Structure 1
């Protein structure tokens, strides 16, 4: 199957000279996590010059270098990743999936004759995993057991740095017995930083940012999934809820792993390569 068969043709883009607030509004309105960045050249042609994600914005907002700048003054061009990996619409699914895995990226612009005609994300591959071919694969076959977690008493700045350093989109929040008590995502961090910058005078921000804890911004409406669940079941839940990952818990609600869209992407790559 070629990538054109699952790509989204409803492109949502942003100009490089727009600001971070504009980008966040587009992400929220369209319920997406990444935006292709466009520039209009001298010939009045729109060309792809970058891509920006929620994690990129969280990294920029929490940086000490931008403490004195409001989000409205930060241009998308200062946040975006400039080295964009794009693929031709005729490439097959397995090759595109492997490109995404090798480069650690969540979406890829699709081109035809060097013109962007669509975009494909991990979520598009997850849709494939609801098929019967994935009923026999169990969560325990794919899940990551070495889970990166934080506690409710960890600071927001620590959670932000952990997400950035490990190139992940979410952190599970556990208690001292490794019980699941919440989850914190890049989106949660962005909202907290935006609210903090809006309410806190600039001269106090550097010190008071340390007073925000994981417990203040995490989501407690989180439930785990059994390691015996099928991949098609997980894919269906991801499609229904929009969640990018699920904690894997035992009968005592203790965390034993995590399964994410990246794990499902790797499975599609393997199956489509056969």
Structure 2
């Protein structure tokens, strides 16, 4: 299987000199997590929800709204690219080895697509004999609805997580993801006057921004079915419950990429 069999096309792009607010709007409108950044038609970077969450959660961002920041100051420069005829297994290896979740697909000088970890859901949708409990990340880090968003953001970055299940007592009540943090911080910046931003952001709680209820899966679910759900709903991950309804794991796009690498 080659990259051009799983990649997404056409690619949503923007110029490096565009304001960060434009990048946020494009991500929200297209329900995607990353954009390829161009300069005079050539690839110069990638910008992701993670980059947005990193920037807008910094103290400097409290004084400078997204409309006054430029994409070039937030993006990751000179991304790794791959050709459309590269084997999908090799792309999975590159992503896992370099800790990246998306690669522009380039033929000659032309941008022909983008391949992301979530695209490996297309591969895993054929693995009928694999169950979620066999490949999930066990014992995930959790957070409380009363914890502050700045704490959740720190955990997401320090532990390189896609999201945190939100637990109250022993009950799963929601999930807070990198997307939730990035997009809610962006929305917050728009409506809160500058003089109040620092205090308001510090006091923002997980329950204010979490996704609830969280869509879940079970340990006995077939990976093929759950992969199709993740692809259709653009989920980067799902909390996993055991047969008693207890939270026991997470299934993320990184696990899908690992499974694809091992089986392709």
Q: TM-score range by the shorter chain?
A: over 0.9
Equivalent of 1:139 in 129, 132, 140? 132
Distance 1:233 1:38, change over 3 A: same
1:240 Cα deviation after fit:
2.8
Normalised TM-score (structure 2):
0.95
Query: If the length of structure 1 is used for normalisation, what is the TM-score?
Result: 0.91
- Note the C-alpha offset of 1:193: 1.5
Is 1:171 the counterpart of 2:164? The answer is yes
CA RMSD of superposed structures (Å): 1.5
Structure 1 unaligned spans of 5+: 41-45
CA–CA separation in structure 1 for the residues paired with 2:81 and 2:104:
5
Residue equivalent to 1:59 = 54
The answer on 1:249 being equivalent to 2:244 is no
Work out whether 1:152 is the aligned partner of 2:145.
Answer: yes
Structure with max Cα Rg: 1
Q: Give the Cα–Cα distance (whole angstroms) in 2 for the partners of residues 23 and 112 of structure 1.
A: 25
Once the two structures are superposed, what CA deviation does each residue of 1:141-175 show, in whole Å capped at 9, x if it has no partner? 11111312110110011111111222222111012
Q: Distance in 2 between matches of 1:175 and 1:91?
A: 46
2:76 alignment partner, SS class: coil
Q: In 1, distance between residues paired with 2:215 and 2:25?
A: 28
Output the CA distance in 1 between the equivalents of 2:180 and 2:134: 29
Alignment partners' CA distance in 2, 1:205 and 1:251: 44
> Where does the alignment leave 5 or more consecutive residues of structure 2 unmatched?
none
For residues 122 and 191 of structure 1, what CA distance do their matches in structure 2 show? Answer: 21
Whether 2:70 is the aligned partner of 1:81: answer: no
| 1:43 match | none
2:12 is aligned to 12
Structure 1 equivalent of residue 39 of structure 2: 39
Q: Which residue of 1 aligns with 2:27?
A: 27
Structure 1 counterpart SS, 2:137: coil
Match of 2:91 in 1: 96
In 1, distance between residues paired with 2:206 and 2:113? 37
What's 2:226 paired with?
234
Where in structure 2 are the equivalents of 1:193-204 lying within 5 Å?
193-204=185-196
Supply the distance in 1 between the matched residues of 2:35 and 2:190 (Cα, whole angstroms). 24
Paired residue secondary structure (1:184): strand
Q: Secondary structure in 1 aligned to 2:145?
A: coil
- 4+ residue runs of structure 1 moved beyond 4 angstroms? none
Aligned pair count reads 264
Query: C-alpha displacement at 1:48, in angstroms?
Result: 0.5
Q: Which residue of 2 aligns with 1:108?
A: 103
The 1:77/1:227 distance shift into structure 2, 3 A limit, reads: same
**Residues 1:130 and 2:125 are matched in the alignment:** yes
Structure 1 residue matching 2:263: 3-state secondary structure: helix
Q: 1:150 aligns to what SS in structure 2? A: coil
- Shift in Å at residue 260 of structure 1? 0.8
| Inter-partner Cα distance in structure 2 for 1:164 and 1:104 | 13
> Does residue 1:212 correspond to 2:222, yes or no?
no
Deviation at 1:223, TM superposition (A): 3.4
For 2:191 and 2:107, locate their aligned partners in 1 and report how far apart those are by CA, in whole Å: 46
Deviation at 1:114, TM superposition (A): 4.1
